[in-house]
């Protein structure tokens, strides 16, 4: 794919061009210092120097709460949303990997109509990042799945269209794009320390770290809320006063005690079991996605955990193997 | 047809036809799906489940108590235990319902052909096993000896008692009933053994090497029964367990129902014991 060059002083115009393809959203930082993806009404509110947003971009595809069905007179109808066209600008490679994982879950047969509608309306423009202490990104540079990717370089960005949608955007902005300077400017280096799929037996091991984590864990669920690939949901149904009502889904959280409940039993009553459940899902995968690591290394869970639990300690090289793990 | 993909969340409509009270908190509901659902339901295998919707309440996973009748009607044995099931118990015939499914794996009725089959049911666990039993009896010649052992807390809570006794009387199935507790009864009333299912199984002689076992019951029952069966010599590959988990979506997405790395809604709810043995939290 052809690579072109966007100078920094053309960025504002480039953003205006993006608006042709949908409402422009991107990273912003509030007065309180909280980074979030939000509508970009003026270029000055865009903060490409952000570290990581508190809530990952999954909110654009899986809103915290959304209607699945409506019912009236005892009959259900689909409530698939009229999805807005949104251009999400400035997404880091880890979050793009997160969306690619969610695509595997929700676009598999049968596709989820609500997710599919929102996904079709979303144009993803990625941007390279500078890792900080919390990052353990697992995507090699340049591999992030998106429509258009901008790699930060001296004086501007190298721009690569990765889909036909991305090409359409690049084409609309062609007057702003130049041939890449020669020799190519040095790309910001991105260290890759990909996490390998883990042995599920680690979950059932007597590793002493499990006990330590469980003693610390508050079951607050922050690690799951802020995770770009945590998608588990609960389904609820509510009646209105006039007889109709809605069935909705909302984010659930495997750290919460009710997650493993059935009538008369709870299969994950202890924090230890719930921490292991999350570990198993992230690093080993469920059913068709067995062996697929869904941790993208964004570092949010580590940054958000109020008691500094870092599951990677379990699998980091150098942790003494207590035996029985392999 | 617009060619739009079907919404996997959308139930097909169904109507409550009638109900038969089986115990103080459990009833058998006969449900008629509208034609849209008949095709899918005709592929139901004993042990699979459907998602039953009661508008205004929500959805619950139910394993039907029999395969659909010739007219497509479905029998659902449901205990009043939560919000949705309470609404179902309060419903009157004609109530609009919804169904999705069938979902998941069923009992391997083809694989069981030619072999003796031992059905072990505890409490409400009789519902999916009744479906399996009826299937085996409808194809009686294809199977070896069929035995049903059914335990309930007390005689009043034993579901389908007269029906099962009548079936046993026709000679197709050996029936063993047991209750945990039995209050004094006047002479002449029906009675059965007092004791727990594992105890009943311990005293039972059968061809363990060639038999299949199918178990469904409350979670604590499984460990005891599995121990007895393995002790008797039934191979773990021939022991099938129907597990219960909180299945919200039925299509492998909501992630409440993982059993190890498998999902109860798509890889189960019927599992081979050999699939579960490395998963300490499965049972």
Please give the ipTM for the structure prediction.
0.90
The answer to whether residue B175 sits within a structural domain is yes
Distance CA(A133)–CA(A127), nearest Å, equals: 19
Q: Based on the domain organization, do A146 and A45 belong to the same domain?
A: yes
Q: Does any CB of chain A come closer than 8 Å to the CB of residue B275?
A: no
Q: Based on the domain organization, do B127 and B67 belong to the same domain?
A: no
Q: Report CB contact under 8 Å: A265, B6.
A: no
- pLDDT, one tens digit per residue, over B174-233 is 999 999 887 766 565 666 778 888 888 888 888 999 999 999 998 888 988 999 999 999
| DSSP conformational letter for B105 | B
Domain final residue, candidates B103, B133, B161: B103
The answer to whether residue A78 sits within a structural domain is yes
Q: Based on the domain organization, do A169 and A245 belong to the same domain?
A: no
Q: Based on the domain organization, do A103 and A235 belong to the same domain?
A: no
Count the domains in chain B: 2
List, in sequence order, every residue forming a beta bridge with A76; answer none if it has no partner.
A71
The answer to whether residue B260 sits within a structural domain is no
Q: How many CA atoms lie within 13 A of B214 on its CB side?
A: 28
Average pLDDT, chain B: 91
Q: Based on the domain organization, do B182 and B91 belong to the same domain?
A: no
DSSP for B148-164 reads EEEEESSGGG-TTHHHH
Tokens of B172: 């197709």
The radius of gyration of chain A from alpha carbons, rounded to an integer in Å, stands at 22
A69, A73, A280: residue with CB nearest B261:
A280
Alpha helices for A142-184 (secondary structure H): 164-172
Distance CA(A308)–CA(A303), nearest Å, equals: 8
Q: Which domain covers residue A292, as residue numbers?
A: 200-315
Q: Based on the domain organization, do A109 and A258 belong to the same domain?
A: no
Q: Report CB contact under 8 Å: B248, A235.
A: yes
Q: Based on the domain organization, do A282 and A141 belong to the same domain?
A: no
* Minimum mean pLDDT range among A234-238, A284-288, B88-92: A284-288
Is the per-residue pLDDT at A95 higher than 80? Answer: yes
Looking at mean pLDDT, say which of A135-144, A293-302, B73-82 comes out highest: B73-82
The answer to whether residue B177 sits within a structural domain is yes
Q: Based on the domain organization, do A44 and A106 belong to the same domain?
A: yes
Q: What is the pLDDT of residue B186?
A: 58
Q: What is the pLDDT of residue A255?
A: 93
Q: Based on the domain organization, do A150 and A13 belong to the same domain?
A: yes
Q: Based on the domain organization, do A166 and A206 belong to the same domain?
A: no
The answer to whether residue B250 sits within a structural domain is no
Q: What is the pLDDT of residue B36?
A: 87
Q: Report CB contact under 8 Å: B245, A264.
A: no
Q: Based on the domain organization, do B75 and B169 belong to the same domain?
A: no
Cβ contacts (< 8 Å) between A249 and chain B: which residues?
A: 254
Is the per-residue pLDDT at B5 higher than 90? Answer: no
The answer to whether residue B279 sits within a structural domain is no
Average pLDDT, chain A: 87
Q: Based on the domain organization, do B26 and B94 belong to the same domain?
A: yes
The answer to whether residue A85 sits within a structural domain is yes
Domain final residue, candidates B72, B103, B134: B103
Q: Based on the domain organization, do B140 and B215 belong to the same domain?
A: yes
The answer to whether residue A195 sits within a structural domain is no
Q: Does any CB of chain A come closer than 8 Å to the CB of residue B5?
A: yes
Distance CA(A25)–CA(B146), nearest Å, equals: 64
Domain final residue, candidates A178, A211, A228: A178
Q: Based on the domain organization, do A138 and A93 belong to the same domain?
A: yes
Q: Based on the domain organization, do A242 and A172 belong to the same domain?
A: no
Tokens of B210: 């060639």
Q: Based on the domain organization, do A211 and A174 belong to the same domain?
A: no
The answer to whether residue A310 sits within a structural domain is yes
Domain final residue, candidates B47, B73, B103: B103
The answer to whether residue A193 sits within a structural domain is no
A205, A229, B136, B208, B235 from B211: Cα distances, Å: 34, 44, 14, 5, 9
- The CATH number for B24's domain is 2.40.30.10
The answer to whether residue A192 sits within a structural domain is no
Q: Based on the domain organization, do B151 and B224 belong to the same domain?
A: yes
Q: Is B17 exposed, middle or buried (0-12, 13-18, 19+ CB in 10 A)?
A: middle
Tokens of A56: 């990952």
Count the domains in chain A: 2
- The CATH number for B200's domain is 3.40.50.80
Q: Which domain covers residue B121, as residue numbers?
A: 117-241
Is the per-residue pLDDT at A254 higher than 60? Answer: yes
Tokens of A151: 């790699």
Q: Based on the domain organization, do A9 and A148 belong to the same domain?
A: yes
Query: A–B: how many Cβ contacts below 8 A?
Result: 126
């Amino acid at each position: 794919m052809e690579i072109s060059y966007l100078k920094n002083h053309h960025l504002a115009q480039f953003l205006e061009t993006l608006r042709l393809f949908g409402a422009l959203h991107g990273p912003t930082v509030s007065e309180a210092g909280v980074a979030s993806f939000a509508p970009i009404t003026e270029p000055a509110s865009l903060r490409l120097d952000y570290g990581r947003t508190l809530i990952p971009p999954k909110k654009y595809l899986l809103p915290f709460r959304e209607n699945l069905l409506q019912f009236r007179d005892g009959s259900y109808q689909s409530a698939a949303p009229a999805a807005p066209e949104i251009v999400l600008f400035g997404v880091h490679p880890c979050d793009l990997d997160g969306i690619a994982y969610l695509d595997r879950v929700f676009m598999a047969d049968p596709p989820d109509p609500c997710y599919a509608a929102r996904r079709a309306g979303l144009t993803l423009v990625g941007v390279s990042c500078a890792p900080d202490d919390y990052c353990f990104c697992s995507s090699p540079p340049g591999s992030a799945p998106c429509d258009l990717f901008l790699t930060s370089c001296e004086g501007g960005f190298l721009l690569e269209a990765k889909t036909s949608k991305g090409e359409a955007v690049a084409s609309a902005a062609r007057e702003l794009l130049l041939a890449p300077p020669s020799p190519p400017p040095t790309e910001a280096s991105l260290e890759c320390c990909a996490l390998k799929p883990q042995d599920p037996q680690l979950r059932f091991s007597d590793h002493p770290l499990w006990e330590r984590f469980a003693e610390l864990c508050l079951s607050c669920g922050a690690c799951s809320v802020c995770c770009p690939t945590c998608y588990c949901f609960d389904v609820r149904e509510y009646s209105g006063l006039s007889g109709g009502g809605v069935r909705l889904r909302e984010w659930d959280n495997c750290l919460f005690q009710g997650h493993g409940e059935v009538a008369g039993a709870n299969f994950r009553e202890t924090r230890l079991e719930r921490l292991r459940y999350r570990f198993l899902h992230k690093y080993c995968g469920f059913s068709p996605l067995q062996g697929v690591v869904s941790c993208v290394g964004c570092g949010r869970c580590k940054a958000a955990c109020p008691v500094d639990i870092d599951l990677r300690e379990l699998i980091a090289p150098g942790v003494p193997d207590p035996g029985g793990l392999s | 047809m617009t060619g739009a993909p079907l919404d996997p969340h959308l139930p097909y409509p169904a109507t409550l036809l009638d109900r038969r009270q089986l115990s103080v908190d459990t009833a058998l509901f006969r449900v008629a799906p509208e034609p849209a659902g008949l095709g899918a339901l005709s592929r139901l295998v004993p042990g699979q489940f459907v998602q039953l919707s009661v508008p205004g309440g929500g959805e619950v996973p139910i394993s039907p108590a029999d395969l659909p009748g010739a007219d497509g009607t479905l029998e659902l044995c449901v205990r009043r235990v939560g919000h949705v099931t309470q609404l179902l118990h309060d419903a009157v015939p004609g109530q609009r319902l919804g169904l999705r499914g069938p979902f998941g794996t069923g009992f391997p009725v083809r694989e069981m052909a030619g072999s003796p089959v031992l059905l072990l049911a505890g409490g409400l666990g009789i519902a999916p096993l009744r479906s399996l039993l009826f299937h085996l009896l409808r194809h009686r010649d294809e199977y070896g000896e069929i035995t049903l052992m059914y335990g309930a807390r007390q005689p009043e809570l034993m579901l389908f008692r007269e029906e099962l006794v009548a079936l046993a009387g026709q000679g197709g199935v050996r029936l063993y009933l047991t209750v945990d507790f039995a209050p004094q009864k006047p002479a002449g009333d029906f009675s059965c053994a007092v004791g727990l299912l594992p105890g009943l199984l311990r005293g039972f002689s059968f061809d363990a090497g060639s038999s299949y076992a199918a178990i469904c019951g409350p979670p604590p029952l499984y460990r005891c029964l599995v121990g007895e069966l393995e002790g008797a010599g039934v191979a773990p590959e021939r022991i099938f367990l129907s597990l219960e988990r909180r299945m919200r979506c039925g299509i492998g997405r909501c992630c409440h129902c993982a059993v190890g790395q498998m999902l109860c809604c798509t890889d189960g709810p019927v599992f081979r014991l050999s699939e579960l043995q490395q998963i300490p939290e499965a049972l």
